[in-house]
Amino acid sequence: MILGVSGPYAAGKGEVIAYLEERSFYGLSLSDVIRQELEALDLSETRERMIETGTRLRSEGGPAALATRLIEQLLPDRNYVIDSIRHPAEVEALRAHDPAFRLLWVDADEAVRLERLKSRGRPGDPETLADMRRLEGREQGGDDPAGQQLAAVRALAHFELENTGSLAHLHAEVQRILERSLFFERPSWDEYFMSIARVVASRSNCVKRKVGAVIAKDRRIISTGYNGTPRGVRNCNEGGCPRCNSFAQGGAQLEECLCSHGEENAITQAAYHGVRVPDGTIYTTFSPCLMCTKMIINAGLAEVVYNADYPLGEVSLELLREAGVKVRRVGG
């Protein structure tokens, strides 16, 4: 779950974020990107300088520049709350990253907010209602497309929270919003196993093509394999395979190839460790070659799920079907 928080001065955004952080959300702020820029320039932080630097970064890198930098830090296994969203392009970038992204707008009466500003006493905060209105007017939007556009951000909010009551009331409202936002998508079993096969492929030492395979049975991984030179032999990327290192034409010089294939290694690894594979499913990033196809059939595997077509692989697919092995292609 990724929640964004935005709103005017002293509306209570910090209290919302603190509440969420206490509930295992990781707090991030687009303003931290600006602070890092000021630190690199050896400049002190002021409200005016933050606004100017943020505008410059958006002007140089596009209106979503701050969000783009922050998105690079997001991990798929965590809940996040993101502060200081001040441009609609930032909302769109976060929504593109995760369609389940939700934006919360926090607000309060301006007289209440001014009293909060006076009580916290931060340098650069406005001290009068006129000063606050002047600064907030600048942040609402203007002719500069790279400037802050809080009014446009508010229009994109999924929820609005009026923070004029007690802290307990604020927390209750945030809890209600959490319950309404409890939505996420889990990958299908095919997507799950194929994504693991892609990670397995990243271990390949073959210089021509990286292939990964996963054998699953009863929705449990029982073996994995990736292509590369045999155990105890110099790795392909270290010069171990003459065919691959000469970048031979596809289908040629196969008698010189010393690399074992991903499906082959998944099956032989299972045999090496005494793991039974009959009736299992092999997920592979490429459709199998003819040699691996024969191994798949004779090993008793019931299904082949692949992602991309292997060159010259149509005969293999026909042979699998003839042998009664189910064949499916998933993904692009």
Three-state secondary structure readout of 230-287 = CCCCCCHHHCCCHHHHCCCCCCCCHHHCCCECHHHHHHHHHHHCCCCCCCCEEEEEEC
Residue 186 has a pLDDT of 80
Question: Dihedral of CA 273/278/331/236: which sign?
Answer: positive
Residue 88 has a pLDDT of 92
Q: Can you tell me the distance from the alpha carbon of 161 to that of 104, in angstroms, rounded to the nearest whole number?
A: 7
Q: Can you tell me the distance from the alpha carbon of 120 to that of 126, in angstroms, rounded to the nearest whole number?
A: 11
Contact 292, 263 (CB under 8 A): yes
264 classed as catalytic: no
Q: Can you tell me the distance from the alpha carbon of 224 to that of 233, in angstroms, rounded to the nearest whole number?
A: 19
Distances from the Cα of 277 to the Cαs of 6, 185, 265, 269, 297, in angstroms? Answer: 53, 30, 13, 11, 11
Residue 178 has a pLDDT of 86
Q: Please state the φ and ψ torsions of residue 117, each to the nearest 5 degrees.
A: -60, -45
Residues 263, 264, 314, 318: which is the catalytic one?
Answer: 263
Distances from the Cα of 141 to the Cαs of 63, 114, 172, 192, 295, in angstroms? Answer: 13, 21, 31, 44, 65
- CA-nearest of 193, 234, 185 to 215 is 193
Residue 138 has a pLDDT of 66
| Calculated CA dihedral for residues 47, 164, 168, 6, nearest 10 degrees | -40
Query: Low-confidence residues of the chain, pLDDT below 50?
Result: none
- CA-nearest of 265, 214, 213 to 236 is 265
